[in-house]
Amino acid sequence: MVKPARIAPWSISLLSLSLCAALGRPADGGHVQRRSADRCVRYSQKMERGQTGAALSLRNGCRTAVTCTIEWKLVCGGGPAGGVEAASMELERGEKKEVSASAAACDRDWQVTDVRWTCDPVRAP
């Protein structure tokens, strides 16, 4: 009777690491560039004067310019959220910009909810 060949468990780990390293490396030997710049852009929110809305701010801490989109919903008086509102902006390195999430459509109480933002590096022409 012929016994099946045994493979040492460490050899499978070594083979897996080698394969991952080979497949994960770009063909030109350069670095893999992140698709999103979300990690180096900072978000903040504050009440506008007169409580007429919220100022939604993004500050670019990336090494390059980025293009960002912010989305939010406005809820009036505890009712259901309205539709999604959005704004886009381009931020140079170190720049901060803000957009107004206006509550002008609400009679009394209001709340900005479901704020989402994403940024991507600006592509060279």
At 11 the pLDDT is 38
At 7 the pLDDT is 42
DSSP-based three-state secondary structure for 18: helix
- Write out the two tokens for 2: 């012929």
Burial bucket for residue 46 (CB in 10 Å: 0-12, 13-18, 19+): exposed
**109 falls in which pLDDT band (50, 70, 90)?**
confident
Is the Cα dihedral 57, 62, 64, 67 positive or negative?
Answer: negative
Report CA dihedral (35, 56, 96, 49) to the nearest 10 degrees.
180
Separation of alpha carbons 111 and 95, rounded Å: 27
Once rounded to an integer, what is the mean pLDDT over residues 106-111?
86
Delineate the domains of the chain, giving CATH numbers in brackets.
38-121 (2.60.40.10)
* pTM for the model: 0.65
The residue type at 5: A
Backbone phi and psi for residue 18, each to the nearest 5 degrees, phi listed first: -65, -40
pLDDT digits 0-9 by tens, 13-27: 433 434 334 334 334
